[in-house]
Amino acid sequence: MRTQVAIIGGGPSGLLLGQLLYKKGIDAVILERKTRDYVLGRIRAGVLEQGLVHLLEEAGVADRLHAEGHEHDGTVIVHDQTSFRVDFRKQTGTPVVVYGQTEVTRDLYDAREAANLPTVFEVENVKIHDAKGNSPYLTYQVNGTPKRLECEFIAGCDGFHGVSRRTIPDDVRQEYEKVYPFGWLGILSQTPPVADELIYANSDRGFALCSMRNDHLSRYYVQCPITDTVEDWSDDRFWEELKRRLPSEIAQQIITGPSIEKSIAPLRSFVTEPMRWGNLFLCGDAAHIVPPTGAKGLNTAASDVHYLYHALTEFYHTGSREGIDSYSQKALDRVWKAERFSWWFSSLMHRSPDQTPFDRKMQAAELAFLAQSDAQKQVFAQNYVGLPY
Ligand code: APR
Ligand code: PHB
């Protein structure tokens, strides 16, 4: 088989890139390790920056997003018993859109299938060959049968555990990592959200977040020790702990119900440099990970896709390699700013086991300053709604 762009990974990055390239007449094949249903079974965050919304519109997959997504003009931040609001629209003129990543992925798969674009599911042992040469290709198996995909470029959209990042030689690749000493226990419940906007809470018992997928589906999180397992947390224990981390006037409004999904996620900050090696380009989680506090995972994958899509389109339409040659630097410039905001917001909102009383006072002062300062709220809002591409 032969194509122009071989995309490894059928998650949001690979699907969005494939759809945008298709719209520009550029052929791409997606190789996905799992099944479509498995990919769609993943529960992920659901806050979309306008940049991602515009990319989805350009890809022709934004109809359901506009019909079912909810614009949020701000968010509430709580510190112990006090709360304040950051008004995104007042500070930046821009809202965010709340629409589940699973739904984004579903819309992208539906569009890909409607256009009859090639996706190979349940591939095994994908290997990247001659990425630095003039004839890159992939080998892989399907049901044990060896396959080969000739291509001109390879997009490594295969996430943190994929093969692409590891293909860049150790003496070329520089990795930066911070692992946080706590995790997020999240539940999904078919209950009305406690509020119309997200609520981020820093309490002396730890972080909590009140989010949602729609008017009937709530998503809640509490910070937990990284050594905890889901079995340690009954639904009753979760609801009681969540309420203890929120001001009483919010806690008493929470409508509880059985969890339909419950999981614990570790938190890490991670970046790989460079994001390009020859004809291999890393996109999304393959190159970087953020703690979910700032909802930057999907949105930073989107800006990578934006830069790579434009670079490949420029090459195929004009022959220029300028975008290709500047991809890694452009993508990383924005990646690091998203990493900084995610690290800063995570450090501000969580209670870390190694925190000293002085550290807690610094958190309190930072939160008090954010509550009082319009300038600080504007900086927060600019980062939260998404820095320009
Ligand atoms: N071969 C083929 N496919 C692979 C391989 C491989 N060797 N390794 C991983 N994959 C697939 C995974 O099954 C997954 O479907 O690549 C896809 C990568 O998708 P994601 O991990 O979702 O990463 P990405 O598409 O970059 O999306 C980033 O997803 O994880 C969240 O928080 C993250 O919101 C962010 C978004
Ligand atoms: C979510 O709804 O899952 C969510 C929202 C905002 C975040 C993280 C997760 O910062």
Residue at 75: amino acid letter:
T
* Ligand 1 atom at minimal distance to the Cα of residue 290: 32
Q: Which residues lie with the beta carbon below 6 Å from any ligand 1 atom?
A: 8-14, 31-34, 39, 44-45, 101, 123, 126, 157-159, 161-163, 284-285, 297-298, 301
Report the pLDDT value the prediction gives residue 263, as an integer from 0 to 100: 96
Q: Are strands 288-289 and 259-273 parallel, antiparallel or unpaired?
A: antiparallel
Neighbours of 365 (CB within 10 A): 10
**Burial of 310 (C-beta count, 10 Å sphere; 0-12/13-18/19+):** middle
pLDDT at 43: 81
32, part of any domain = yes
The whole-angstrom separation of Cα 229 and Cα 209 is 19
HEC per residue, the chain = CECCEEEECCCHHHHHHHHHHHHCCCCEEEECCCCHHHHHCCCCCCEECHHHHHHHHHCCCCHHHHHHCEEECEEEEEECCEEEEEEHHHHHCCCEEECCHHHHHHHHHHHHHHCCCCEECCEEEEEEECCCCCCCEEEEEECCEEEEEECCEEEECCCCCCCHHHHCCCCCCEEEEEEEEEEEEEEEECCCCCCCCCEEEEECCEEEEEEEEECCEEEEEEEECCCCCHHHCCHHHHHHHHHHCCCHHHHCCCCCCCEEEEEEEEEEEEEEECCEECCEEECHHHCEECCHHHCCHHHHHHHHHHHHHHHHHHHHHHCCCHHHHHHHHHHHHHHHHHHHHHHHHHHHHCCCCCCCHHHHHHHHHHHHHHHHCHHHHHHHHHHHHCCCC
| Structural domain boundaries enclosing 24 | 5-51+102-177+268-347
Task: Tell me which amino acid residue 60 is.
Answer: G
- Ligand nearest to the CA of residue 100, numbered in listed order: 2
Q: Are 375 and 322 in contact (CB under 8 A)?
A: no
Alpha-carbon span 250 to 248, nearest angstrom: 5
| Total of domains in the chain | 1
β-strands 206-214, 217-224: how paired?
A: antiparallel
pLDDT given for residue 273 in this prediction: 98
Query: Is 38 a residue of the active site?
Result: no
Question: Is 292 among the residues known to form the active site?
Answer: yes
Task: Tell me which residue has its CA closest to atom 9 in ligand 2.
Answer: 45
Residue 314 placed within a domain: yes
- What does the pLDDT read at residue 382? 98
Does residue 200 carry a catalytic annotation?
yes
Active site residue 296: yes
Nearest ligand by distance to the CA of 9: 1
The answer to the question of residue 284 being in a domain is: yes
Specify whether the CB–CB gap between 11 and 157 falls below 8 A. yes
Q: Is residue 200 part of a domain?
A: no
CB 12 within 8 A of CB 264: no
> What atom of ligand 1 comes closest to residue 285's alpha carbon?
26
Determine, yes or no, domain membership for 232: no
pLDDT tens track, the chain, 389 positions: 999 999 999 999 999 999 999 999 999 999 999 999 999 998 888 999 999 999 999 999 999 999 999 999 999 999 988 899 999 999 999 999 999 999 999 999 999 999 999 999 999 999 999 999 999 999 999 999 999 999 999 999 999 999 999 999 999 999 999 999 999 999 999 999 999 999 999 999 999 999 999 999 999 999 999 999 999 999 999 999 999 999 999 999 999 999 999 999 999 999 999 999 999 999 999 999 999 999 999 999 999 999 999 999 999 999 999 999 999 999 999 999 999 999 999 999 999 989 999 999 999 999 999 999 999 999 999 999 999 99
Does 45 map to a domain? yes
pLDDT value of position 245: 97
Rounded CA-CA distance 129/368 in Å is: 54
Parallel, antiparallel, or unpaired: how do β-strands 153-156 and 280-282 relate?
parallel
Phi, psi of 203, rounded to the nearest 5 degrees: -120, 165
Q: How far is CA 28 from CA 139, 265, 307, in A?
A: 16, 32, 17
* Residue 137 belongs to domain with CATH number: 3.50.50.60
Question: Could you tell me if residue 191 is inside a domain?
Answer: no
**Ligand 2 atom closest to 44 (CA):** 3
Tokens 């579903």 belong to residue: 106
Ligand 1 center to 72 CA (angstroms): 27
Task: Let me know: does 384 contact 48? Beta carbons within 8 Å.
Answer: no
Is 37 domain-assigned?
Answer: yes
Would you say the pTM of this structure is higher than 0.85? Answer: yes
Question: Token pair of 151, please?
Answer: 């291509």
